Structure 1
Amino acid sequence: MRYFEDIAVGETARFGDYPVERDEVIAFAERFDPQPFHLSDEAAAQTHFGRLAASGWHTCAMTMAMLVGHLKADEQAGLGSPGIDALRWLVPVYPGDRLRCETEVIEARRSTSRPEMGIVKSRMTVFNQDDVAVMTFVSNGLIATRHP
């Protein structure tokens, strides 16, 4: 198990391989972001997207799936997250893309009010199959300490 004390500023990780599937893009959009350019090739063709594009929120969800898979494999003592900062969707994500993640720990501090946890800030970059960054954000993770 990896605890807060085991995480160092500057630490990096690469993980994930998520195929973006057309049916999933449409299903997500129908339920959570029903804008025409996420639902229809014809409507998307009339926009700057040029073709059907995944919702940015769907890109976040796909990233979360990759992140949780990585954290489980890494056996990190995660306690959730109070949120993310500076979310940016850089370029569209399209059906047929394959996504992967790179992350770097940029800050780690023990909580002063909750000694059983630390707060770790990481810069996340999500790339497509062409190594083009499609999304960035800073995550704030709560990690159990080994010795509160």
Structure 2
Amino acid sequence: MTLWFEDIDDVTVWPLGDYTFTEEEIIRFAKRYDPQYFHIDPEAAKHSHFGGLIASGWHTVSVGHKIMVDFMYAHDAEQRAKGEEPGVSGPSPGVNKMEFKAPVRPGDTIRFDLTVKNKRKSNSLPGWGLLTSIISAYNQDDELVYRSEIASFSKLRDYKPKLKERVLLAMAAMPVFRKLLRK
């Protein structure tokens, strides 16, 4: 999120956007990254337990991630256009849970949403907060097709490091201390 940690609440659902999957794109992605027959061969896929061609779950995840990043950049630009300073989002320490609930088929339009489930100040990174968020994806029939729980960092707006932290950060930036820390 391009909001400061203090400005993020855990009740807002952020509509990230939607995407329509085509047969051509499903096959192209799968041939490159997940070449299972039910992703690449429409005729053979008819006889699978899915009853037809479906998108790779990784394709759905990748599209959702791109839509989320595009949303964040657009949100950042929107805040700057209003003369506001956007917050700083950090890296993700990982995905806690990932579920593929229903297949994504050619022609399906998938809507992606992001909801912050909870937040707390980070114990390991001073000046940052840790968010646990849910990314949900629904098809045109409002059926849940994908859900994941992700962790990510968000910077605190007015964090001032304590003297000890400033000294440690300064030391870590010095080549001689970096060599000592690696040993």
TM-score by length of 2: 0.76
Residue equivalent to 1:22 = 23
Say which of 88, 91, 96 aligns to 2:102. 91
C-alpha displacement of 1:145: 1.6
Name the structure with the higher helix share: 2
Q: What is the CA distance between 1:126 and its match in structure 2?
A: 0.4
For these two proteins, the number of residue pairs brought into alignment is: 148
Q: Secondary structure at the match of 1:119?
A: strand
The one-character-per-residue Cα deviations of 1:115-146 (angstroms, maximum 9, x if unpaired) are 22111111221001111110111111111221
Structure 1's unaligned 5+ residue stretches are none
Counterpart position of 2:88: 77
CA-to-aligned-CA distance 1:2-57 (integer Å, 9 cap, x gap): 21111012222122111112221111111110101000111111111111100001
Measure the CA separation in 1 of the matches of 2:28 and 2:155.
Answer: 36
Unaligned runs of 5+ in 2: 77-86, 160-183
Higher strand share: 1
Question: Percent identity, aligned pairs only?
Answer: 36
Paired amino acid for 2:14: A
Matches within 5 A, 1:8-19: 8-19=9-20
Q: Which has the larger radius of gyration?
A: 2
Q: Say which SS state the counterpart of residue 113 (structure 2) adopts.
A: strand
Cα contact 1:115–1:145 (8 A) shared by 2? no
**Superposition RMSD in Å:** 1.3
Shift >6 Å, 4+ stretches = none
Structure with higher RCO (Cα < 8 A, 6+ apart): 1
Distance in 2, Cα, partners of 1:90 & 1:83: 20
What residue is the counterpart of 1:116 in the other structure? 127
Counterparts of 2:5 and 2:75, CA distance in 1: 13
